[in-house]
């Protein structure tokens, strides 16, 4: 999260920040076709957004995502950069304040900001589910 804030603080103009977001979207790995399914769509996004998470053998989140909109695809890439390879408990112990620190809360349109928060909520839901599964598997 700090790395994301530091990276975006290099740009003082929002045009440059938007260009950075778009570039991250262009660099985002292709979403496997199996995850481009209705059940992986994020509810609350005006654009189409797909997010899928799985747990690695080491217990870390592996996130996959995409969007049909250029800027939103970049926002998906930013979230994947922040949360990918974190443990579920690390995600749950963190706060998405970096969105405000980067300026996404104040410089995105209301519909994009709502969609961004829906994506973060979805990541936290995945982390909650994986954390609960890990608690059920661990001996007491």
SS3 call for 63: strand
Give the pLDDT of residue 106: 87
Q: Which of 45, 63, 72, 116 is catalytic?
A: 45
Give the pLDDT of residue 140: 58
Q: What is the pTM of this model?
A: 0.94
Rounded to an integer, what distance in angstroms lies between the CA atom of residue 49 and that of residue 91? 20
Give the pLDDT of residue 137: 81
Rounded to an integer, what distance in angstroms lies between the CA atom of residue 62 and that of residue 84? 6
Q: Which pair of structure tokens corresponds to residue 109?
A: 């349109």
Give the pLDDT of residue 138: 72
Rounded to an integer, what distance in angstroms lies between the CA atom of residue 47 and that of residue 25? 14
**Domain 2-137 bears CATH identifier 3.20.20.70:** no
Which residues of the chain carry a pLDDT beneath 50? none
Give the pLDDT of residue 105: 84
Give the pLDDT of residue 134: 85
Domain boundaries, the chain: 2-137
Give the pLDDT of residue 139: 66
Give the pLDDT of residue 124: 98
Angle, helix 14-27 to helix 70-83, in steps of 10 degrees: 80
Active site residue 45: yes
Q: Which of 69, 77, 85, 83 is nearest to 125 (CA)?
A: 83
């Amino acid at each position: 999260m700090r790395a994301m804030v530091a990276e975006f603080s290099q740009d003082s103009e929002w045009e440059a920040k938007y260009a950075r977001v778009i570039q991250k979207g262009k660099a985002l790995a292709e979403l496997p076709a199996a995850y481009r399914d209705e059940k992986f769509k994020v509810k609350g996004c005006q654009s189409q957004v797909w997010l899928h998470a799985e747990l690695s053998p080491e217990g870390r989140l592996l996130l996959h995502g995409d969007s049909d909109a250029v800027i939103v695809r970049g926002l998906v890439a930013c979230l994947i950069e922040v949360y990918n390879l974190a443990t579920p408990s690390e995600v749950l112990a963190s706060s998405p304040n970096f969105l405000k620190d980067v300026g996404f809360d104040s410089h995105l349109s209301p519909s994009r900001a709502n969609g961004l928060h829906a994506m973060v909520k979805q990541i936290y839901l995945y982390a909650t589910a994986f954390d609960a599964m890990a608690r059920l598997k661990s001996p007491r």
